[in-house]
Structure 1
Amino acid sequence: MERRQLEYFVAIVEHGGFTHAARALRVAQPSLSRAIAKLEHELGVALFHRVGRTAVLSSAGEFMADRARLVLRDLDALRAAARAVGDGLAGRVDVAATSSSALEPVISIIADLRERHPGVLVSTSSALSAAEVVAMVLQGRCEAGVCGSAERPAGPGLVAHHLRDEEFLLVAPPGSGIADPVEWSDLRGMRFVVTKPATAVRALFDRIAATVPDVSIAAEVGDRSVVLPMVLRGIGAGLMPDGWTDLARRAGAEVVRFSPAERLPQWLVHRSGPITAATQAFLDTTLAGVRLAGRAAAEAPDVS
């Protein structure tokens, strides 16, 4: 079995067929087909069912897909480790993150990483939920992930580090005059711009709506980046993680805290197996930032 065969197989799975995979890989489709036929012969099983011009994963193919990704990740880790010894740290790390985590702490991590290791490229992939982040890491689609979850993320071979407690805030249109901090009971009669189900922000809204009378949805959006523009246009209020605070205030929105505070733990996750030197640098930079923030918090004066 050759690395090239696994790369071709994963490309067919991810691009939805031989034609699209051949185009993405810039290889002739007959060459791709021959490589997969050879792989199937070596394994003794069919990886795809051919239905007309469509290729559908067989049960053996489904079993192989995630494992092939992980093998390719492990091979990359070995290659990168060897290269780092001779040429200095360089490479790419694929990071899965929910939208709020992609804003903070991932942006700060990337900024710190660029200072420490300018040869490392971070590529982020968006996920709707913590469960999706964990799945992307365990399946080998990404090498690390950052997400918010009330429970510690778990899975076979998964390592999870607590980063911080993210705080959710109320963001209201300019001139709303919302009290700061605000209690749930103060939200009676308010209309909200909300994301679709499965996100942590939507879960918070659903809890509020189930408790506070006359709370309603003004708009439901699939793209979370349009929530703030809608709030600024007066369509409704929004719920946002604290990473949006500076941007929302600079744009003119009113940003207030909840009393009691609404918080959600954020986690860094990765597999326990071999990782690339670039991924290790990402992990080390992230955890160094956590330790630095912890020391700063411990040394801060008590103003209570």
Structure 2
Amino acid sequence: MYRPKTTLEQWRILQAVVDHGGYAHAAAKLNKSQSSLNHAVAKLQSQLNVQLLEVKGRKAFLTEAGEVMLRRSRHLTQNVQELEFLAENINQDWEPEITVALDLAYPRELFYPALKAFHPQSRGSRLKIIDTVLTGTEEAITDGWADIVITGTVPKGYLGEPIAELYFIAVCHAEHPLAALPSPIDANELLHHLQLVIKDTSQSPNEKQGWLRSEQRWTVSHFNTAIELMLQGQGFCWLPTHTVEQHIVSGDLVKLEIQGSTFRKLVAWLVHPNPDTLGPGSKLLSELILAHRQIHNECAEREQRPEEN
């Protein structure tokens, strides 16, 4: 079994000498005698049989070999620090891993600012973000496999906080036959055209949402795939406005005005499947998501809704 020749304390002393520009300043910073630092670095060089520092005047400078060794030593001491921090977090019930089930319809630009704010406070917790759709999102709640769920529906027996209002609209290519029909389009006209559907991520999907009457249906796993197909002239699809807005503005896709159902409104909710056992990391991330919800809602008040366009 390999036994290290050096200690972490020796590497920390070397780092301090370099970072503070010499033995005197490093000794004051570490509250140690200058002679003890000199001895520690000298012993480190002797054990490695490599010269790491050379003194010029009153300052110590790294050799080329010292630069390489110092850089690698920083990874070593950082890893040890994170390992000890993780042990402390576990003792304080801070979760080593947090799982978020994120409904595909929820705009990522609303979620990412919360992640950015969470990272420096995350204490090294790993974050697992799983894209889910429809029943698959509900199962993350009812099966309890996620710590935080952002969903379009709150199952019976659970509570949620509303965090955004989303709008789904029917769209197709500007040259698709449906785009040439006079508005509003009779919903029966849709029966004769290819419908693109986003795949439910559940193992046992329950098709209880949306218009699914077309006999010709292609199922895809992501909004981007549906958009790419429509840009090729294939089919129509109900999609969140934020995913197709730029293509509508460019004129590549058009919004279909359908009699009785121009758009669908969806409220996104933040749900804790197991609120009684929610860890401090999950609580912090939830608070940041809710904080950014307030920012979004203030902005949303100044924007027009789809039906007002």
Alpha-carbon offset, residue 234 of structure 1: 1.3
> Structure 1 residues 298, 223: CA separation in 2 closer, same or farther (over 3 Å shift)?
closer
Give, as a single letter, the amino acid of the residue that structure 1 aligns with 2:101.
Answer: A
TM-score (normalised: structure 1): 0.54
Q: CA deviation at 1:254?
A: 0.9
- For 2:172, the equivalent position in structure 1 comes to 172
Structure 2 distance, partners of 1:81, 1:242, is 45
Q: Hey, what does 1:112 align to over in structure 2?
A: 114
Change (3 A) 1:290 1:222: same
- Shift of residue 153, structure 1, vs aligned partner: 2.7
Q: In structure 1, what is the equivalent of residue 71 of structure 2?
A: none
Shift of 1:199: 7.4
Shift in Å at residue 92 of structure 1?
Answer: 4.2
Residue 128, structure 1, aligned to residue 127, structure 2: no
Percent of paired sites with the same residue: 15
Superposed CA RMSD: 4.0
Find the counterpart in structure 2 of residue 231 from structure 1. Answer: 230
Runs of 4+ aligned structure 1 residues displaced above 6 Å come to: 300-304
Distance across 2 between alignment mates of 1:237 and 1:301: 24
Which one has a bigger Cα radius of gyration? 2
What runs of 5+ residues in structure 2 fail to find an aligned partner?
A: 1-85
Q: Contact 1:193–1:236 (CA<8 Å) still a contact in 2?
A: yes
1:1-304 aligned at under 5 Å gives the runs 79=89, 82=92, 92-101=97-106, 104=107, 106-115=108-117, 117-120=119-122, 122-129=127-134, 131-149=135-153, 152-155=154-157, 158-176=158-176, 178=179, 183-185=184-186, 188=189, 189-196=192-199, 198=205, 203-206=209-212, 209=213, 216-217=215-216, 219-225=217-223, 226-246=225-245, 248-249=247-248, 253-256=252-255, 258=257, 260-270=262-272, 271-298=274-301
Q: Is the 8 A contact 1:193 1:227 kept in 2?
A: yes
Contact 1:154 1:160 survives alignment (8 Å): no
Q: How many Å separate the matches in 1 of 2:136 and 2:247?
A: 27
Task: Provide closer, same or farther for how the CA distance between residues 293 and 113 of structure 1 changes in structure 2, counting only shifts above 3 A.
Answer: same
CA drift at 1:186 = 6.8
Q: 1:291 to 1:244 in 2, by over 3 A?
A: same
Residue of structure 2 in register with 1:29 after alignment: none
Q: Give unmatched runs, 5+ long, in structure 1.
A: 1-75, 85-89, 210-214
The number of residue pairs the alignment matches comes to 206
- CA distance in 1: counterparts of 2:90 and 2:130, whole angstroms: 21
Q: Structure 1 pair 165/81, CA: closer, same or farther in 2 (3 Å)? A: farther
Q: What SS class does the counterpart of residue 204 from structure 1 fall into?
A: coil
Map Cα deviations across residues 226-276 of structure 1 (whole Å, 9 max, x no partner): 212211111212221223124645887414265643212221110321322
Structure 2 CA distance for partners of 1:220 and 1:145, relative to 1, 3 Å: same
| TM-score (normalised: structure 2) | 0.53
Shift of 1:280: 1.5
Alpha-carbon contact 2:248-2:255 (below 8 Å) kept = no
115-124 vs 233-242, greater mean Cα deviation: 115-124
Q: Cα deviations across residues 58-117 of structure 1 (Å, max 9, x unaligned)?
A: xxxxxxxxxxxxxxxxxx9x9458387xxxxx964211123223xx1x442123331454
3-state secondary structure, aligned to 1:178: helix
Distance 1:245 1:80, change over 3 A: farther
